Structure 1
Amino acid sequence: MRVLCPNIDREDALETVLDVPIPEEMFTSMGNTVALRWQNMAMWMKAQTLEKWSSPIIANRYNELSFLLYMMGSPLLPLQIRKANSSTRSIHNSSIEASTAKYIVQQYMAAIGGQPALNTVQSLCAIGQVKISASDFHQGDEVVNSRSRDEAGGFVLWQKDPNLWCLELLVSGCKVISGSNGKISWRQSSNLQRPMIKGPPRPLRRFLQGLDPKSTGDLFLQAVCIGEKIINDEECFILKLDTSQSDLEEQGNPKYEIIHHTIWGYFSQRSGLLVKFEDSRLLTVNSDNGDGIFWETSTESVIEDYRYVEGVNIAHSGKTTVTVFRYGEQSSNHKRELEEKWRIEEVHFNVWGLGNDFFNPPSEFMKREKAT
């Protein structure tokens, strides 16, 4: 990963630290020589202006990348993760399915390092890289045979709490900043013509792909065990959780309604670790004439390469696939498939000086909120 950019104007000046480290693959695609690559990167960084987005070709390309980054790179979950201590949560006075799930979560918490190690973690910073590809929209009964070329990029992720986090994601020249300050969650792209999206605080799905074991355990303490399944030659328990109606209603707004959202976790019977994470969501988007268009999104992440970082077992790589269905009275039945391969390069705990104010939205957004 490239973390420093030379000063193009002065060779003897200090190098500039990149806001988001970029993978070598993305850097090498910018030119034939090292000097040309840095010059092209500097030109791209200076070109983030409104004039750049006035070109239809660039705007269409950017809208496509924004769609990929919202769907794959920074999806949010429409629920609240309730803090709990799995070591003290009783498995009695519950149904057999719920009691079994709590026991499986206790084994998971032991496998990722145990409660004492988790209690020492107050904050997190992770640096990683991604490759994203996608098919075009096609008829729902057609077989997808081709995807676009891989779009490479990197990200930096900060967290103090399931609802206190910030993500900066840069892929193929498109940047998305997303975060939650405990009161609202928000997303904004570097295309300033696209407005900021905001809503109630929600957890980032990427945390539950092996980066935040504590929140993963707290989440699945509310689940039930529905059976067993073999995943990549691993015999796994299946835990299922349906998002409550109150959480769904809190996340909705006049433009759309979330009808249901279900989560499944597959926990290895051998190691106790989470090896696969799935969720499915159905929402309806209200059009101006009152007709609704349904969007059904199914996402699954295979989680791999667990390594201990300061006593906590963190997953360092995996693959996520997303299938998007769109249908309704005013829409043909269309389907699209997306794929992301990700790898964690660095993980650091207990970042010094990381205050709650760090997770606030950009200042111009806060000014608009106060004005209204």
Structure 2
Amino acid sequence: MRKLCPNIDKDDGLETVLEVPIPEEMFASMGNNATLRSQNMLSWMRAQNSDKWSQPLIAARINELRFLLYLVGSPLIPLQVQLGHSVQKPVKDCSIQASTAKYIVQQYIAATGGQPALNAVHSMCVTGHVKISVSEFHQGEDTTNVKTTQETGGFVLWQKDPDLWCLELVMSGCKVISGSNGKLSWRHSSNQRTPISKGPPRPLRRFLQAWLDPRSTANLFTDATCIGEKIIDDEDCFILKLETSPAVREAQSGPNYEIIHHTIWGYFSQRSGLLIQFEDSRLLRMRTKDDDDVFWETSTESVMTDYKYVDGVNIAHGGKTRVTVFRYGDQPANHSRQMEEKWKIEDVDFNIWGLTRLHFMPPAEILNEELAESTK
């Protein structure tokens, strides 16, 4: 991962530390020699706030990248995970399926390091890189090739108990920032002309996708039910299922859209107790200007590999995520699309000194809105 870049203000000045490290592969693609790569990287950084983003061709590419990063790189989990230090729940009056799920979660806690090791983690900083590719675009019964090549990027993820986190993800000149300050969560891109999306506080899917926070994962699935078994990559796994309640779906719906369902599945290895695969499926109904209903169905599947211990906590350092998106309801615009992300964790540090709530402040636009609402 490259952590330094040319000095923006002085060509002969000291190199600048990148806020988000980028993969060497991404830096190498910027030119065929070190001088050209540095010049192109410098131009790319200077262009972040320029009017070049408004040009039609560049704007179209940025919109495509933002779509990928929002949908694949920084999606949110529908449930607010409670981060109590104990995830043990009583099994009294539970069904067999629910009590079995609680037992499986306890085995997962042991496999990831045990309750004392998990409780010792109060904050973290993670750096890594991703590769996102897009498959064919299907419109109606026709198939059209999308000219999007494989994109490479890097990310930095900060987190602090109980529900403070911030993700910065850079890919091919587009930067997406997602965060939560404990009261609300938000996402926005480096193109400031786009509105900032915000909502109730929710955890980032990447926490569970890379299993960077096993305690959050255990808390999430402790209310699940065991619905059976399945073999995944020659591993016998238990299947835990979690349905989002109507109250949660209603709270996350808006005036122009409704979440019809959002379901989560976890596949836990019977041999190791670790989480091998994570899936979720969401169906969204949107109301168009013509007062028609359009449905968006998103199915996501993540497979985790390369588990390693960091300070006594066993977390996955690599994996693959596949996303399938269906849009239907408006016949001429019906289409489906598939995307794939390969990710790898480079560095993980726990219990970061000096990390406070000020590091998780939302953008100024959101702060101004909250201030305006509080003065009404």
TM-score range normalised by the length of the shorter chain: over 0.9
Distance 1:256 1:297 in 2: 15
User: Partner of 1:202 in structure 2?
Assistant: 202
Partner of 1:266: 267
Question: Could you say if the C-alpha distance between residues 262 and 8 of structure 1 is closer, same or farther in structure 2, counting changes exceeding 3 Å?
Answer: closer
Structure 1 regions of 5+ residues with no counterpart? none
Task: Please state how far the C-alpha of 1:58 moved relative to its aligned partner.
Answer: 0.4
Q: Deviations over 1:256-276 (max 9, x none)?
A: 110100000000000000010
Measured in 2, the distance between the counterparts of 1:304 and 1:147 equals 30
Q: Deviations over 1:51-89 (max 9, x none)?
A: 112210000000000000000000012221123455632
Q: How far apart in 1 are the matches of 2:329 and 2:12? A: 61
**Equivalent residues in 2 for 1:316-331 (5 A)?**
316-329=317-330, 331=332
Aligned counterparts of 2:236 and 2:26: Cα–Cα separation in 1: 38
Q: How far, CA to CA, are the matches of 1:48 and 1:332 in structure 2? A: 33
1:158-169 equivalences in 2 (<5 Å)? 158-161=158-161, 163-169=163-169
Query: Partners of 2:12 and 2:55 in 1: how far apart?
Result: 36
What displacement does 1:141 show? 5.9
> Match of 1:135, SS?
strand
- 1:42-53 equivalent positions in 2, closer than 5 A: 42-53=42-53
Seen in structure 2, the aligned counterparts of structure 1 residues 319 and 145 have a Cα distance that, compared at 3 Å, is farther
CA distance in 1, matches of 2:307, 2:165: 22
1:74 aligns to 2:77 (yes or no): no
Structural mapping, 1:148-297, within 5 Å: 148-161=148-161, 163-209=163-209, 210-297=211-298
Whether the 8 Å CA contact 1:234–1:268 is kept in 2: the answer is yes
Output the TM-score relative to the length of structure 2.
0.94
Contact 1:122 1:160 in 2 (8 A): yes
- For the 8 Å contact 1:155–1:168, the answer to whether it is kept is yes
> Does the aligned pair in 2 maintain the 1:291–1:330 contact within 8 Å?
no
**2:342 is aligned with what amino acid?**
K
CA distance in 2, matches of 1:163, 1:137: 37
Residue 372 of structure 2 is matched in structure 1 by 371
Distance 1:31 1:75 in 2: 32
What is the TM-score with the length of structure 1 in the denominator? Answer: 0.95
Alignment correspondent of 2:314:
313
Equivalent residues of 1:86, 1:105 under 8 A apart:
no
| Cα deviations by residue, 1:101-158 (Å, 9 ceiling, x for unpaired) | 0000000000000000011100011000000011343136668988842100000001
With over 3 angstroms needed to count, the CA separation of the structure-2 counterparts of 1:213 and 1:144, relative to structure 1, is farther
> 2 CA distance for matches of 1:155 and 1:19?
9
Contact 1:85 1:218 in 2 (8 A): no
Give me the identity figure in percent.
Answer: 66
Q: In structure 1, what is the Cα distance between the partners aligned to 2:363 and 2:161?
A: 19
State the secondary structure of the residue aligned to 1:48: helix
Show the counterpart of 1:130: 130
- CA root-mean-square deviation: 1.8
The one-character-per-residue Cα deviations of 1:297-337 (angstroms, maximum 9, x if unpaired) are 00000011110000000110000000000001455431100
Matches of 1:361 and 1:9, distance apart in 2: 27
